[in-house]
């Protein structure tokens, strides 16, 4: 049995006779859940387990309390990603247009052989919804790939500059601190030449993992800045706190024992009067000052 034949339908219909006719037309292909009003339909959507969440919702226009258009509007406002189909005895084109504008997938009038057509309309809605979700998934994946470094999984250099610009604007607007940590691996070329590029790549992955684990999830932005260079954008963080994070990363890398690889860091706190380029240059100067000392 394929997914469409076992799909779950939530029917929001106040007329028992119409509900029975619709259920009889669909029960061979679908599992039907009946709600007698818009309110009970919305309540049902709030409580089912994952295996009871409907795949399609059929909404009658004439409902007690508030009509089908308001029900569709409420369901979409709540963020349910479920195709909606309006069924009504009123062949009013304005209702159809309004339903489609709100986000309904289709519209069916209770006249003629609509019960014979209804399963086809549902199957088409399921196919359209599957296509739309796959398209959205692919677009999200393309977006992720465009801002992610292939090797380490951290954000890439392009994302780094775009994000830093945004965070600088936010820091100016709200007066919050903003710190930047630049990190460079010491002796990485020697390690790479000795152990080979494959092991060199593995070392970069391990360092990236340490950086990710040492920074705040969904707050800080860890990026691969260059070959063996990394950067961490730290919103709401001053230079002192950023230094603590940098030292934590250094220790974790030393503890991994990747040959004689160590980490040099450059830390800067954003001066609201400087440009983003100057902000990066400030951290860069600190980085290479420390790196010369390490050498």
3-class DSSP string for 54-120: CCEEEEECCCCCCCHHHHHHHHHHCCCCCCEEEEECCCCHHHHHHHHHHCCCEEEECCCCHHHHHHH
Mean pLDDT, range 176-186, rounded to an integer: 97
Which pLDDT score is estimated for 292? Answer: 77
Q: Look up the CATH number of domain 157-294.
A: 3.30.70.270
Which pLDDT score is estimated for 142? Answer: 85
- pLDDT, one tens digit per residue, over 61-83 is 988 888 999 999 999 999 999 99
Rounded alpha-carbon distances, angstroms, from residue 38 to 11, 83, 108, 112, 242: 10, 16, 18, 26, 53
Which residues, in sequence order, are CB contacts of 96 under 8 Å at separation 6+?
86, 107
- In whole angstroms, give the CA distance from residue 30 to residue 7: 5
- In whole angstroms, give the CA distance from residue 101 to residue 73: 10
Looking at the predicted structure, is the pLDDT value of residue 295 above 70? no
- pLDDT, one tens digit per residue, over 276-287 is 999 999 999 999
Nearest to 283 by CA among 241, 242, 228: 242
- pLDDT, one tens digit per residue, over 156-171 is 999 999 999 999 999 9
Please determine whether the domains at 8-145 and 157-294 fall in the same fold group of CATH: no
Instruction: Please indicate, yes or no, whether the overall pTM of this predicted structure exceeds 0.85.
Output: no
Compute the C-alpha angle 95/97/99, nearest 5°. Answer: 65
Domain ranges of the chain: 8-145, 157-294
Fold topology of 8-145: Rossmann fold (3.40.50)
């Amino acid at each position: 049995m394929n997914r469409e034949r076992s799909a779950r339908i939530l029917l929001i219909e106040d007329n028992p006779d119409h509900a029975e006719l619709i259920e009889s037309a669909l029960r061979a292909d679908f599992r039907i859940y009946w709600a007698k009003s818009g309110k009970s339909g919305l309540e049902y959507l709030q409580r089912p387990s994952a295996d009871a969440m409907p795949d399609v919702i059929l909404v009658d226009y004439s409902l007690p309390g508030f009509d089908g258009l308001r029900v569709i509007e409420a369901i979409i406002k709540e963020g349910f990603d479920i195709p909606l189909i309006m069924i009504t005895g009123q062949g009013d084109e304005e209702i159809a247009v309004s339903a489609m504008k709100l986000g309904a997938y289709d519209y069916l009038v209770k006249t003629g052989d609509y019960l014979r057509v209804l399963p086809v309309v549902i199957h088409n809605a399921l196919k359209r919804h599957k296509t739309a979700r796959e398209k959205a998934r692919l677009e999200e994946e393309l977006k992720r790939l465009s801002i992610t470094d292939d090797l380490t999984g951290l954000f890439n250099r392009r994302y780094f500059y775009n994000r830093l610009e945004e965070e600088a604007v936010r820091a100016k607007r709200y007066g919050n601190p903003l710190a930047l940590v630049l990190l460079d691996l010491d002796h990485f070329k020697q390690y790479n030449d000795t152990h080979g590029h494959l092991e060199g790549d593995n070392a970069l992955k391990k360092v990236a993992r340490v950086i990710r684990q040492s920074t705040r999830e969904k707050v800080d932005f860890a990026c691969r800045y260059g070959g063996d260079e990394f950067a961490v954008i730290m919103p709401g963080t001053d230079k002192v706190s950023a230094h603590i994070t940098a030292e934590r990363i250094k220790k974790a890398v030393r503890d991994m024992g990747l040959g004689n690889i160590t980490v040099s860091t450059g830390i800067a706190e954003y001066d609201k009067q400087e440009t983003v380029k100057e902000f990066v240059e400030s951290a860069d100067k600190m980085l290479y000052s420390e790196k010369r000392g390490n050498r």
